[in-house]
Amino acid sequence: MSAEMRTAIDPTRDAFKQLFAHAPAQGPVQMLNLLAFRERTEDGLRTGRRAYADYGRAVAPILAGVGGRVIWAANAHLAFIAPPGEHWDEALLVEYPSRDAFVEMLQSPAYQAIVHHRTAALRDARLIVTTPLPANLPSG
């Protein structure tokens, strides 16, 4: 996998700098995940979807350990308003009690031991850092 392609899968040092510069230190953060799976992992032993399911099972207790939770997950069928050819297989929203809880998880030895499943699974990804809006705020 090329270094350029890998930056769309795994966070870079600069991504961490940007996270600390732009995400608030206090309060919950929600990570919008857009996921595109490989047909097969590089070793050919699993489908990308299967490798991601393996990652999901392994990350669940680590996520819970830092106070995180999956808010929703969904199959993606069509990027209706997007650049031509853009396609995602799944989308999910994961909430962490804070930016630092998210970083704590990523840097933990337990996470480092299982993240290879995620890397093997994905051909492309986006992880968009968000914070919830007040419930009574009109959208639009």
Q: The CATH number of the domain where 51 resides is what?
A: 3.30.70.100
CA atoms of 55 and 120, how far apart (whole Å): 10
From the CB of residue 111, how many other CB atoms can be counted at a distance below 10 Å?
Answer: 18
DSSP reduced 3-state for 48: helix
What's the DSSP call for residue 135? T
What pLDDT band is residue 128 in, cutting at 50, 70 and 90? very high
pLDDT at 6 over 60: no
* Residue at 34 is within a domain: yes
pLDDT at 4 over 80: no
Residue-range definition of the domain harbouring residue 64 = 12-130
Count of domains in the chain?
1
* Residue at 122 is within a domain: yes
* Residue at 135 is within a domain: no
Region 28-39 average pLDDT? 97
Is the model more confident about 44 or about 138? 44
> E strands within 21-121?
29-37, 69-75, 90-96
* Residue at 4 is within a domain: no
What's the DSSP call for residue 127? E
List, for residues 63-99, the tens digit of each pLDDT value: 999 999 999 999 999 999 999 999 999 999 999 999 9
* Residue at 29 is within a domain: yes
Arithmetic mean of pLDDT over the chain: 92
Prediction pTM value:
0.88
Burial class (CB in 10 A: 0-12, 13-18, 19+), 77: exposed
* Residue at 5 is within a domain: no
Instruction: Match 């093997």 to its residue by tokens.
Output: 120
For residue 37, the model assigns a pLDDT of: 97
* Residue at 6 is within a domain: no
* Residue at 55 is within a domain: yes
**Taking the CA of residue 80 as centre, how many other CA atoms within 13 Å lie in the half-sphere pointing to its CB?**
2
